[in-house]
Amino acid sequence: MEHIRTTKVEQVKLLDRFSTSNKSLTGTLYLTATHLLFIDSHQKETWILHHHIASVEKLALTTSGCPLVIQCKNFRIVHFIVPRERDCHDIYNSLLQLSKQERLQGWQLIDLAEEYKRMGVPNSHWQLSDANREYKICETYPRELYVPRIASKPIIVGSSKFRSKGRFPVLSYYHQDKEAAICRCSQPLSGFSARCLEDEHLLQAVSKANPVNRYMYVMDTRPKLNAMANRAAGKGYENEDNYSNIRFQFVGIENIHVMRSSLQKLLEVSGTKGLSVNDFYSGLESSGWLRHIKAVMDAAIFLAKAIMVENASVLVHCSDGWDRTSQVCSLGSLLLDSYYRTIKGFMVLIEKDWISFGHKFSERCGHLDGDPKEVSPVFTQFLECVWHLTEQFPQAFEFNEAFLLQIHEHIHSCQFGNFLGNCQKEREELKLKEKTYSLWPFLLEDQKKYLNPLYSFKSQRFTVLEPNTVSFNFKFWRNMYHQFDRTLHPRQSVFNIIMNMNEQNKQLQKDIQDLESKIKRHKNKQTDGILTKELVHSVCPESPTLKTSLCFKEQTLLPVNDALRTIEGSSPADNRYSEYAEEFSKSEPAVVSLEYGVARMTC
C-alpha cells in the first residue's frame, strides 16, 4: 500500500488510439492495490490488473497535460492524459512499484536469517560475522555468515587466505539439541608442508563452540588420491598433526568430471532401443552412477552419525567446497532435521546450502554457452539421494516425487531467477530479485500437486533418518531418467489415487459438517413447529406410503474417484489416466506398449 501515493485523479482523459481527431473520454482514474480503474463520464469502467502491466511510459508534457502510456501483456494499450504533471508522476511511480511488487514479495518467501534463527543461532557460541558483508573476503560466499563467537576477524581473514577461493570454515547447520555444528569450507592451501595458524585457530574455535565434545571431524569428501594430487598444486588437506583435536576422514566422492561422464554413460545405456536386461545392468554397473549416489549417501550418513552418536561437530570440504560439500552438508542436514523434509524446509535447504553458498548453478547446468567441462549433474545427484530416502521412508517427507522432478525441471528452465548465476554476488549484480521471479511461490501455489498423501507429520519417529545403504536398496530412478517415456511407467499410479482420495476425504468431512448442521436446523425447526404440526396432523395424517415412495437412492458420490481408478475412465482431472485410456483405444497392434523389447512379429 505504501506504493500508492495518489488513489484518485480527476479530469483524466483516455485517448482513443486509432481516432484521427484525438477523440477522448474524460473521467476519473483510481488506483487500488490490485487494479488501475478508469471511470468515464458515462460511468463506463475500464479495469486494468497490475499483473497485466508490461510497461508504463511517461511521454513529454503537452498543453493538455502529461501523457501516460500503459502497455499490457494482454495487448491492451491505454493512453491517458493526466492534467497535472505531479499526479502523473505519482501514478507512474506507483504503477512501476506495484507491477514489480509481486516479484519482490516472492523473493521474501525464503529468509535465511530466519532459518539460522530457527536453528538457534546466533547464540553464546555462534555469531553473525560481518567480515564478508561487502564480499571482500570471499566472493562466492553470501554476505551473512555465521562463525564461532571466539573467532576474531583477523583469524577469519587469515584462514580465508589459506583456503581455496577464500572459502573459510563457516556454519552450515547447527544442531540445537546436540550443540554440534556442520561447518563447510574449501580445501586448505597446505601443499606438502604449509600451515596457517589462523586456520588452525579457526578450527579450534569451531570445536570449542561445541561444549559437549572436544574433538571434531574434518571430512574431506574427495577420494584420498585426488586430495593428495592437489598437494602438488599447493592445495591439499589438513595435516592432523597441525590441528588439535581433529579427526580427519576421506569419504571418496568423485569429482564433477567423473560424475558428468557417469551420467552420460547411464543415459547412453538406458536410451538403447531393445535393451536386454543384462546390457542394462552391466551398463548400470559400468556407468558407476549408483555407486556415486551411494557414496554421497554414505558420506551424509557418516556426517549425521558423527553428530547424533558422538555429539561431534563436523567440518566438510572438498576442493572448492561448492559441489560435494553442498551435497553432503544438505543431505546430512536433511537426515538430522525433519524440517528440511517439509516442502518449505526443502526450499530453505536448497537456498541455504546450494544457492547461498555458491553452488555454480549456471555453470553446472550449462545455462549459457560456457565451458562444457564445468557442466555436472551434482544437484541432480542430490535430488536422487533425496528420492532414495523417500523410497525408504515413504512417510517421512511432506513432498512427493513430482516435487523433486519439478525442481529439477527448473534448475535448467531459466524461467525463474533462483538458479541463475553462480553465486550470490553475481545474482545481486544481475538484479535478479527485481528482474525475475522466484520459483518457490509458484511451487507453493501448486502445493497440492506436491504433497505426499502418506506423510505423517505428527510422529516424532522420523526425527533422524537412518537409511540403509546396502547396495540392493539403490535402484535406477526410472521416473527421472525416463520421465517422458510413458510406456515404461506403471499404468496406474497408487500415489495419485491416494492423493485424490485424501483430498476427497477433506471434502467429505466438510460435507458431513454441512449436512449435520442442516439436519440440526431442521430438527430445531420441527420442535418449534411441533404445535403447528399437531394441528396439521388431524388434517393430513402422516402417511407411511408417502414417505417410502420417496425412494431414497443411494448416491454415487465419487465420480472423480471412480474415473481415476478405472483405467477406461477418461477423467479430465488426471491427464495420465486419460492418456492411458487413449492408448488402449488405439486400434493399432500392440506396438504401443510392446515396442520396447517385445519381439516384433517377424516370421
Partner 1 sequence: MEFAELIKTPRVDNVVLHRPFYPAVEGTLCLTGHHLILSSRQDNTEELWLLHSNIDAIDKRFVGSLGTIIIKCKDFRIIQLDIPGMEECLNIASSIEALSTLDSITLMYPFFYRPMFEVIEDGWHSFLPEQEFELYSSATSEWRLSYVNKEFAVCPSYPPIVIVPKSVDDEALRKVATFRHGGRFPVLSYYHKKNGMVIMRSGQPLTGTNGRRCKEDEKLINATLRAGKRGYIIDTRSLNVAQQARAKGGGFEQEAHYPQWRRIHKSIERYHILQESLIKFVEACNEQTHNMDRWLSKLEASNWLTHIKEILTTACLAAQCIDREGASVLIHGTEGIDSTLQVTSLAQIILEPRSRTIRGFEALTEREWLQAGHPFQQRCAQSAYCNSKQKWEAPVFLLFLDCVWQILRQFPCSFEFNEHFLIMLFEHAYASQFGTFLGNNESERCKLKLQQKTMSLWSWVNRPNELSKFTNPLFEANNLVIWPSVAPQSLQLWEGIFLRWNRTSKYLDEAYEEMVNIIEYNKELQAKVNILRRQLAELETEDGMQESP
User: Are 213 and 311 in contact, with CB atoms under 8 Å apart?
Assistant: yes
CB of 259 to partner 1, least distance (A): 15
Q: Is 275 a residue that touches partner 1 (CB under 8 A)?
A: yes
Distance from C-alpha of 147 to C-alpha of 206, rounded to nearest angstrom: 8
Interface residue with partner 1, options 193, 542, 544, 572 (CB under 8 A): 542
How many whole angstroms from its chain centre is CA 151? 33
Distance from C-alpha of 86 to C-alpha of 5, rounded to nearest angstrom: 11
DSSP at 353 = I
Torsions phi, psi of 195, nearest 5? -140, 165
Q: Is 43 a residue that touches partner 1 (CB under 8 A)?
A: no
319 is in an annotated binding site: yes
User: At residue 431, what is the residue type?
Assistant: K
Binding part of the chain for partner 1, among 85-93, 144-152, 440-448, 560-568 by CB under 8 A, reads 560-568
DSSP at 389 = H
Nearer to partner 1, 346 or 474 (CB): 474
Distance from C-alpha of 138 to C-alpha of 150, rounded to nearest angstrom: 20
Interface residue with partner 1, options 60, 113, 309, 550 (CB under 8 A): 550
Nearer to partner 1, 112 or 497 (CB): 497
Q: Is 562 a residue that touches partner 1 (CB under 8 A)?
A: yes
Grid coordinates representing 431?
A: 538484479
278 is in an annotated binding site: no
The strand pairing partners of 78, in sequence order, are 70
Binding part of the chain for partner 1, among 78-86, 411-419, 441-449, 491-499 by CB under 8 A, reads 491-499
Per CB under 8 A, contacts with partner 1 among 498-527 are 498, 501-502, 504-505, 508-509, 511-512, 515-516, 518-519, 522-523, 525-526
Binding part of the chain for partner 1, among 313-321, 323-331, 442-450, 497-505 by CB under 8 A, reads 497-505
Q: Is 596 a residue that touches partner 1 (CB under 8 A)?
A: yes
Nearer to partner 1, 139 or 583 (CB): 583
Nearer to partner 1, 242 or 502 (CB): 502
Nearer to partner 1, 1 or 277 (CB): 277
**Pairs from 429-438 (Cβ < 8 Å, separation ≥ 24):** 433/103, 433/104, 433/107, 434/100, 434/103, 434/104, 436/103, 437/103, 437/106, 438/103, 438/106, 438/107, 438/109, 438/110
Interface residue with partner 1, options 60, 113, 309, 599 (CB under 8 A): 599
Binding part of the chain for partner 1, among 148-156, 221-229, 410-418, 545-553 by CB under 8 A, reads 545-553
Kindly tell me the sign of the dihedral angle through the C-alpha atoms of 317, 318, 322, 323. Answer: negative
Interface residue with partner 1, options 102, 232, 536, 579 (CB under 8 A): 536
Binding part of the chain for partner 1, among 84-92, 122-130, 359-367, 539-547 by CB under 8 A, reads 539-547
159: nearest Cα among 209, 197, 132:
197
291 is in an annotated binding site: no
CB of 450 to partner 1, least distance (A): 18
Q: Is 17 a residue that touches partner 1 (CB under 8 A)?
A: no
CB of 515 to partner 1, least distance (A): 4
Distance from C-alpha of 118 to C-alpha of 183, rounded to nearest angstrom: 17
Per CB under 8 A, contacts with partner 1 among 279-338 are 279-282, 284-285, 288, 290-291, 294
How do 126-129 and 53-58 pair as beta strands? Answer: unpaired
311 is in an annotated binding site: no
Catalytic residue among 318, 329, 365, 423: 318
Nearer to partner 1, 234 or 271 (CB): 271
Q: Is 555 a residue that touches partner 1 (CB under 8 A)?
A: yes
DSSP at 555 = P
User: Are 326 and 378 in contact, with CB atoms under 8 Å apart?
Assistant: yes
* Side-by-side strand order, sheet with 24-31: 45-49, 35-40, 24-31, 8-15, 77-82, 66-72, 53-58
**Pairs from 442-446 (Cβ < 8 Å, separation ≥ 24):** 442/106, 442/416, 443/343, 443/347, 443/403, 443/406, 443/407, 444/109, 444/343, 444/344
Interface residue with partner 1, options 152, 567, 570, 578 (CB under 8 A): 567
479 is in an annotated binding site: no
241 is in an annotated binding site: no
Nearer to partner 1, 79 or 482 (CB): 482
155 is in an annotated binding site: no
CB of 503 to partner 1, least distance (A): 10
Interface residue with partner 1, options 86, 214, 224, 533 (CB under 8 A): 533
321: nearest Cα among 71, 542, 566, 141:
141
CB of 305 to partner 1, least distance (A): 18
Per CB under 8 A, contacts with partner 1 among 435-454 are 453-454
Instruction: Count the site residues for partner 1 by CB under 8 A.
Output: 93
Q: Is 565 a residue that touches partner 1 (CB under 8 A)?
A: yes
CB of 518 to partner 1, least distance (A): 6
**Pairs from 538-545 (Cβ < 8 Å, separation ≥ 24):** none
Nearer to partner 1, 39 or 488 (CB): 488
Q: Is 471 a residue that touches partner 1 (CB under 8 A)?
A: yes
Q: Is 278 a residue that touches partner 1 (CB under 8 A)?
A: yes
239: which residues sit within 8 A by CB, 6+ positions away? 190, 195
CB of 219 to partner 1, least distance (A): 20
User: Are 70 and 62 in contact, with CB atoms under 8 Å apart?
Assistant: no
Q: Is 544 a residue that touches partner 1 (CB under 8 A)?
A: no
3-state secondary structure at position 574: coil
How do 8-15 and 24-31 pair as beta strands? Answer: antiparallel
Q: Is 558 a residue that touches partner 1 (CB under 8 A)?
A: yes
411 is in an annotated binding site: no
Interface residue with partner 1, options 393, 430, 464, 480 (CB under 8 A): 393
DSSP state string for 223-273: -HHHHHHHHHTT-----TTTSTTEEEEE-----HHHHHHHHHHHHHHHT-T
CB of 218 to partner 1, least distance (A): 25
Q: Is 240 a residue that touches partner 1 (CB under 8 A)?
A: no
Q: Is 192 a residue that touches partner 1 (CB under 8 A)?
A: no
User: Are 349 and 330 in contact, with CB atoms under 8 Å apart?
Assistant: yes
Return the H-helix or E-strand segment holding 49: strand 45-49
User: At residue 303, what is the residue type?
Assistant: L
Distance from C-alpha of 187 to C-alpha of 196, rounded to nearest angstrom: 13
318 is an active site residue: yes
Q: Which residues are known to be catalytic?
A: 318
| Binding-site residue positions for substrate | 255-256, 318-324
Annotated binding site: 255-256, 318-324
